[in-house]
Each structure stands twice: as structure tokens, then as C-alpha cells.
């Protein structure tokens, strides 16, 4: 019960890594507040966790909705001990794509803006709303979802890589700015994780992905959830400004 009595907010908690993290935190004794734009999925996870966990539909790109959601959490629980900025999206495309000397495709401005809006500005919105609560209560933990591609880069992911590299940068800034208030800020950088979306890929593709990983398997959502649990717990009390890779040893692009 490493999080006994603590209040944890997990964005994108309705599926994948977010859901696994919500379940792991609840098992460790935390009351988990789940935010997601998928109402059905978010409600199902909250129901499975039982009281005192809860769900609220929040679009993290909407600053007013984020502020209102945090105010509701404080009214409900009185505090927020852990924020997991997990929500994220993909809109992959090459920067420019040529065929026989002709430009045939490119990443759209809308695709770039959407990913930056959720993956980067959404993290900014949520952290800026929660940080004052943590300062006033005397401390807290902020955990940000980056990715190995934010460290290594990846083909066809200009927007996603930019967002995840930006998250790492913000993590290091906030660790410096908020440390004096007993707030620890860290990032987790997952590799290829076998979420429900990934499981739908062809078997050959999955086998090819696993072959590139030194541990010879894809990660499980629980692998990342366990990393978040460690960083949220008192066992990581002197860890701040870190980027923890959970990737089986892969170096993307090699």
C-alpha cells in the first residue's frame, strides 16, 4: 500500500497505459481520479476501481475545463498528491514525401497542431492547474509521459517526437522551479508497449518490433504502470528531473 491515502489524477486513464496505471495506483491504496475524453471507457475504469475513485470528462487542451476539473478534485478530496500526465495522441506522417521527384504528401498543419495541443500543451495546462494546489498543501509528485522517440527520434513522427521531447524539457524545468516546494517532477519514456491499439497490428509487424528489442518482447502497460508507481512513491523521494526509459533496452532507429 505504497500510496495509501493519496489522491492521484491520471489523464487519459480510460485505456492502455493510463488504465493500467489507475489500476496499479488503486491497488497501492490511492484514490484515483480519471480524466479522459472517452466517457464510456473512463467511467468503466472508475467503476471497476470503486469508491473513492471517480471519473470526469476533461479535454486537456481546454484550459477552462482543466481548471474546473482541478477545482472539483480539490472540493471532493481536499488535495492532489500525484498528477500523471498520461493523455496523448498520434497523427503520424512524413514531413515531406516524394515519389519519382514529385511531392506526393506531407504532414498537415492540423496534424502537427493537434498532437502538440494534446501531448505538450495539455501537459502544460494540467501541470499549471495542479501545481498551485501542491504548493499550498506542501508537496506532491508530477509524472509526465514522454517516449523513447522523444530521446531518439523516429521516422514519420515529427509532431509526436517534438511533443515528447518538449515534455522532457518541461520536466527538467519544473523539477528546478518546483523542487523548493517539495514537488518532484519526473518523466517516463516508454518504448513499444503492447496496448490494445498495438495488439491489432499484424502478427508479423509485432514480431518485427519485438526482434528489435534486446529483451525480445514488447512491453506491457503494467511495465510502465510499475515505473509510475515507483516514481510516485516515497521510495523515489530523492528522484526529480529524471527521465526513466521503460523500453526493454531498445534504441529507436537502429
Q: Distance between CA atoms of 64 and 42, rounded to whole angstroms?
A: 20
Q: Distance between CA atoms of 146 and 151, rounded to whole angstroms?
A: 9
Residues with catalytic annotation?
Answer: 160
- What is the Cβ-side half-sphere exposure of residue 237, based on CA atoms within 13 angstroms? 4
With contact defined as beta carbons under 8 Å apart, do 105 and 93 qualify? yes
Phi-psi region of 12 (alpha: psi -120 to 50; beta: other; left: phi over 0): left
Distances (CA, A) of 29 to 91, 143, 187: 36, 18, 22
With contact defined as beta carbons under 8 Å apart, do 18 and 39 qualify? no
Amino acid at each position: 500500500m505504497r500510496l495509501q491515502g493519496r489522491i492521484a489524477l491520471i489523464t487519459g486513464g480510460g485505456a492502455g497505459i493510463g488504465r493500467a496505471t489507475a489500476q496499479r495506483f488503486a491497488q497501492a491504496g490511492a484514490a484515483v481520479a480519471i480524466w479522459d475524453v472517452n466517457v464510456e471507457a473512463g467511467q468503466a475504469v472508475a467503476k471497476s476501481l470503486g469508491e473513492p475513485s471517480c471519473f470526469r470528462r476533461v479535454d486537456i487542451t481546454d484550459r477552462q475545463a482543466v481548471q474546473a476539473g482541478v477545482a472539483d478534485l480539490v472540493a471532493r478530496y481536499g488535495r492532489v498528491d500525484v498528477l500523471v500526465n498520461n493523455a496523448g495522441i498520434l497523427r503520424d506522417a512524413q514531413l515531406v514525401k516524394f515519389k519519382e521527384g514529385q511531392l506526393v504528401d506531407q504532414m498537415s498543419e492540423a496534424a502537427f497542431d493537434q498532437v502538440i495541443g494534446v501531448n505538450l500543451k495539455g501537459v502544460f495546462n494540467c501541470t499549471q492547474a495542479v501545481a498551485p494546489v501542491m504548493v499550498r498543501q506542501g508537496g506532491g509528485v508530477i509524472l509526465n509521459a514522454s517516449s523513447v522517440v522523444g530521446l531518439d527520434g523516429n521516422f514519420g513522427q515529427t509532431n509526436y517526437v517534438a511533443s515528447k521531447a518538449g515534455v522532457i524539457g518541461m520536466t527538467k524545468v519544473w523539477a528546478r522551479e518546483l523542487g523548493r516546494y517539495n514537488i518532484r517532477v519526473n518523466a517516463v519514456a516508454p518504448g513499444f508497449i503492447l496496448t490494445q491499439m498495438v495488439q491489432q497490428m499484424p502478427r508479423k509487424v509485432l514480431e518485427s518490433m519485438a526482434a528489435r528489442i534486446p529483451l525480445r518482447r514488447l512491453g506491457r502497460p503494467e511495465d510502465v504502470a510499475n515505473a509510475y508507481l515507483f516514481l510516485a512513491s516515497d521510495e523515489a523521494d530523492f528522484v526529480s528531473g529524471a527521465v526513466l526509459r521503460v523500453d526493454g533496452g531498445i534504441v529507436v532507429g537502429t
